[in-house]
Structure 1
Amino acid sequence: MPFEEQFEDDSDEKALLDVERLGNLAPGLALEWARSKPFRHLIIDDFLAPFAVRRMQERFPPPEHPVWLDWRKRSPNQYGKQGAGDDTRFDTLDPVFRDGLEQFNDQPFLNFLQSVTGIPALLPDAHFTGGGMHQILAGGILDIHTDFNFYDRLKLYRRLNVLLYLTSEWQPAYGGSLELWTDAPSRGGHCFQDIPPESRVGLSRFTIIPLNLRRVRTTTI
């Protein structure tokens, strides 16, 4: 369902998420989720309105920003994989960007996820452990992996990963597609879906996946 931008209000105070629109989309997306194989996953294009995408893109922290952990110390075998680790340094983020992250932790978004996946009583992680935002530098890689499923800090099981792409100027030559795998290669697994990051300016691609195997590769341009 594309957005109409003719009368958009792009003030920073406007919520990123159109709750009414998400509620209307949820029944159809729930059917797609239930039918997906070999494990449940979902790809939603045009998830955010163009004004919301621009707001987050323009304030996304650049590679030299202090919010990022040093990947050379954190993941030396995964070149250029930048992550924040948790919310410890979120006070260095642009406040509008930080507010955008927090909107994805709010109950309206959790209600949407529950409606689509059928998983009841989902809880957010206020600490953004392993979440928040990520970026992979040119030539970098996020190797095949499965995330931890028990979150010791809150004594809860992790159920879903939600990924929002903000790569408006992406080109196929850059690489960087998300690969979903049936199993580890050492056990005969193979990549069954390759999901390119969104390439159109002002639009967004959104992915919901469980804690299954995935990988991201980029190329040097």
Structure 2
Amino acid sequence: MINFEQLENNLEKLRVSYLAAHPFPHLVIDDFCDKAQLEAAYEAIPELDNKSRDYVFANNKFEKSNYKEICPELRSLYEDLSSERFNKILSFITAKKVFVDPKNHGGGLHQGKKNSFLDMHLDFNYHPIHKNWYRELNLLLYLNKDWKPAYKGGLKIRDLRTDEETELDVPFNRLIIQQCGPYTLHGYDMTNFPEGKYRTSIATYAYQEHKMLIEKPRTTDWFPKEESSTFKKLFAKNYNFLVQTKNKFFGSGTAKNQ
């Protein structure tokens, strides 16, 4: 499913592009998958009805964690993404020994329906089950057929240290590899897709195994817009505490997302 040879023939170029990118390391790869197979996968994707747990920080966003069960093409993609061959490619590009979570906890197929948005945020840093797996990368494969900038929903990334920001287009068959860290904010503004079309992506995460923790474990940290309501800002400020308290008594929803 993945165009492995295209990646392997351009490893040096991909590594330089990733490490030199601003505002923080990231990489855009077009034609990531075999086009015919990915189009077949796209046609098989149903409208999702499982709403995201992002509460007030996302709107009209739906997800399916176990997307590989939808069709053979998506199963093939899932297997390629978690393969040792792909792990070696990612490790070379990032100059770190990383690996894709084979269970893809917290990831999956995402659909943003009418007026969808996702506030800027930092992702959880340590895996909810494997406590010494540090989240190094987000891998975001976009399935937006005939996408145009006027549809909005481009991936916005901002460095929390410098406030430098850029927005990346999200057309069909584009993979964006994005560094995860305590300063790598990302999200997207409210979409304007035509009726019957959705902002569609598949999210996968890569980790590095740590011998000791380098950061205090956190859940998602939210950074709503300045013009957001007082309630949303207050909720964002206390979100980590509230989620950690909930997890203590009821377990992690992300860890159960299989």
**TM-score using structure 1 length:** 0.76
- Aligned with residue 146 of structure 1, among 122, 132, 144: 122
Whether the 8 Å contact between 1:55 and 1:97 is mirrored in structure 2 is no
Seen in structure 2, the aligned counterparts of structure 1 residues 140 and 179 have a Cα distance that, compared at 3 Å, is same
Whether the 8 Å contact between 2:140 and 2:175 is mirrored in structure 1 is yes
1:130 partnered with 2:106 = yes
Seen in structure 2, the aligned counterparts of structure 1 residues 30 and 93 have a Cα distance that, compared at 3 Å, is same
Helix, strand or coil: the match of 1:79?
strand
Helix, strand or coil: the match of 1:43?
strand
Seen in structure 2, the aligned counterparts of structure 1 residues 159 and 47 have a Cα distance that, compared at 3 Å, is same
Q: C-alpha separation between the residues in 2 aligned to 1:188 and 1:128? A: 31
Structure 1 unaligned residues grouped into runs of 5+: 1-15
Map 1:33-182 → 2, pairs under 5 A = 33-64=18-49, 69-71=50-52, 74-77=53-56, 78-84=58-64, 86-87=65-66, 90=67, 93-120=70-97, 122-155=98-131, 156-182=133-159
Seen in structure 2, the aligned counterparts of structure 1 residues 114 and 63 have a Cα distance that, compared at 3 Å, is same
**CA offset digits 1:103-137 (Å, max 9, x no partner):** 211111111111111111x2221221121221211
1:215 is aligned to 187
Seen in structure 2, the aligned counterparts of structure 1 residues 70 and 35 have a Cα distance that, compared at 3 Å, is closer
Structure with the bigger percentage of strand: 2
Q: C-alpha separation between the residues in 1 aligned to 2:140 and 2:68? A: 22
Q: C-alpha separation between the residues in 2 aligned to 1:188 and 1:43? A: 22
1:189 is aligned to 163
The alpha carbon displacement at 1:75 in A equals: 2.8
Helix, strand or coil: the match of 2:154?
strand
The alpha carbon displacement at 1:215 in A equals: 1.0
Q: C-alpha separation between the residues in 1 aligned to 2:141 and 2:11? A: 17
Q: C-alpha separation between the residues in 1 aligned to 2:38 and 2:68? A: 21
Helix, strand or coil: the match of 2:163?
coil
**CA offset digits 1:7-56 (Å, max 9, x no partner):** xxxxxxxxx02322211011111111121123111112222232232132
Whether the 8 Å contact between 2:61 and 2:116 is mirrored in structure 1 is yes
Letter in 1 for 2:188: V
Helix, strand or coil: the match of 1:119?
coil
Letter in 1 for 2:8: G
Q: C-alpha separation between the residues in 2 aligned to 1:141 and 1:102? A: 29
**CA offset digits 1:77-100 (Å, max 9, x no partner):** 11111123x44xx57522432332
Letter in 2 for 1:130: G
Number of matched pairs = 188
- Aligned with residue 206 of structure 1, among 163, 175, 180: 175
Seen in structure 2, the aligned counterparts of structure 1 residues 61 and 153 have a Cα distance that, compared at 3 Å, is farther
